[in-house]
């Protein structure tokens, strides 16, 4: 029945949708005035958890995408009404994830099994990056073993530095000498500008996200080689191909 419908969506246990008959006698009274979340940015999720199946529609078509999932589920990303990247546990058997497809106004129609209908208008932001659901790892992240390499660059870096990180011998060396993580070679080329976008690491494996969380703040400016060998992290400026190859070889041998 609709009174059991719990639409707790936001970080502060503030519902995105306020149903007129919402009640939850076993829960303490909210300590703040709930505000209905009525905007959805391009890179956010709007969540509707429910103990019972719902029929969730959007009118008009094409503004948002609605996906149904089953809970409990842990999600990491941006949430409508939240503040930046968060990890949330949605502890409900039925979870409806609403994401933006294009900018516009849309009305959500939430139909409960007993026929009760809730309407919620949403202002949807323009299209843009939207992270896929990323399960929060349950197991502790293990530090990588062997050699891992990050090539950190920007579009505006010196051309010789960019030629170095693009060169076939360097890529070949990295493929052959780094230790695979999650079935992929143990190296990444990251653009500093895209690292400021939290979506970048949200879509990376837990090992790389943790690695960046641990070391990212201490890396000098400019194009940098970041070599991780066990617990040892070393950085060197990337100047040209010859120097980069020397530094990589030294990192492999533990001499960097």
How far apart, in whole angstroms, are the C-alpha atoms of residue 8 and residue 24?
Answer: 11
Stretch that binds other proteins, among 24-32, 80-88, 198-206, 229-237 (CB under 8 A): 198-206
Which of residues 53, 71, 146, 185 is near other proteins by CB under 8 A?
A: 185
Please tell me whether residue 62 binds other proteins under the rule CB under 8 A: no
Q: Is 196 in the site for other proteins (CB under 8 A)?
A: no
Among 29, 138, 159, 176, binds other proteins (CB under 8 A): 159
Q: How far is the CB of 83 from other proteins (least distance, A)?
A: 22
The interface mask with other proteins, positions 161-180, x = CB under 8 A, is -xxxxxxxx-xx-x------
How far is Cα 200 from Cα 147, in angstroms, rounded to an integer? 22
Q: How far is the CB of 114 from other proteins (least distance, A)?
A: 29
Residues 108-137 that bind other proteins (CB under 8 A): 126-129, 131-132, 134
Of 3, 67, 38, 43, give the one whose Cα is nearest residue 14.
Answer: 38
- Exposure string for 180-205, b = 16+ CB within 10 A, e = fewer: ebeeebbbbebebeeeeebbbbbebb
Q: At what angle do helices 241-252 and 168-177 cross, to 10 degrees?
A: 10
Chain center to CA of 87: 9
Closer to other proteins by Cβ: residue 16 or 43: 43
Tokens 């492999």 -> residue: 252
Q: What is the distance of C-alpha 88 from the center of its chain? A: 12
DSSP-H helix ranges across 67-187: 159-166, 168-177
Q: Find, among 16, 103, 94, the residue nearest to 50 by Cα.
A: 94
Q: Taking CB under 8 A as the rule, does residue 243 contact other proteins?
A: no
Q: How near is the Cβ of 212 to other proteins at its closest, in Å?
A: 11
**Which residues here bind other proteins, judged by CB under 8 A?**
101-102, 126-129, 131-132, 134, 155-156, 159-160, 162-169, 171-172, 174, 182, 184-185, 187-191, 193-195, 197, 199-200, 203-205, 240-241
């Amino acid at each position: 029945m609709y009174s059991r419908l719990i639409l707790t969506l936001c970080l502060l246990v503030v519902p995105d949708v306020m149903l007129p008959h919402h009640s939850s006698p076993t829960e303490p009274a909210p300590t703040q005035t709930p505000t209905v979340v009525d905007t959805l940015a391009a890179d956010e999720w709007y969540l509707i958890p429910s103990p019972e199946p719902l029929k969730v529609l959007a009118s008009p078509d094409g503004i948002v995408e609605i996906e149904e999932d089953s809970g409990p589920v842990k999600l990491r990303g941006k949430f409508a009404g939240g503040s930046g990247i968060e990890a949330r546990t949605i502890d409900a058997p039925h979870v409806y994830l609403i994401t933006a497809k294009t900018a516009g106004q849309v009305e959500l129609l939430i139909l409960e099994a007993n026929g009760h209908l809730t309407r919620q208008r949403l202002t949807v932001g323009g299209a843009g990056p939207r992270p896929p659901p990323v399960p929060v790892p349950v197991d502790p992240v293990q530090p990588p073993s062997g050699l891992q390499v990050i090539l950190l660059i920007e579009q505006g870096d010196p051309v010789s530095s960019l030629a170095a990180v693009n060169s076939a011998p360097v890529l070949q060396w990295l493929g052959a000498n780094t230790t695979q993580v999650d079935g992929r070679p143990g190296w990444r080329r990251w653009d500093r500008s895209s690292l400021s976008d939290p979506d970048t690491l949200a879509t990376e494996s837990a090992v790389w996200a943790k690695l960046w969380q641990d070391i990212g703040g201490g890396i000098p400016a400019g194009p940098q080689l970041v070599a991780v060998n066990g617990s040892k992290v070393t950085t060197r400026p990337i100047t040209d191909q010859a120097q980069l190859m020397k530094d990589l070889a030294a990192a492999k041998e533990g001499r960097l």
